[in-house]
Amino acid sequence: MTVKVDKEVCIACGVCQELCPEVFGADEEGKAFVLEGADCDAAGCCEEAAESCAVEAITIEE
Ligand code: SF4
Q: Which residue segments constitute the domains of the chain, with CATH numbers given?
A: 2-61 (3.30.70.20)
8 Å CB contact between 30 and 51: no
> Which residue's alpha carbon is at the smallest distance from atom 4 of ligand 1?
13
Question: Is residue 33 a contact partner of residue 24, using CB atoms and an 8 Å limit?
Answer: yes
Segment 46-59 mean pLDDT: 98
The yes-or-no verdict on residue 37 having pLDDT over 90 is yes
Q: Which of 15, 20, 22, 60 to mutate to test the pocket of ligand 1 (most atoms within 8 A of CB)?
A: 15
Global pTM reads: 0.95
Atom of ligand 1 nearest to the CA of 17: 6
Average pLDDT, the chain: 97
CB 23 within 8 A of CB 34: yes
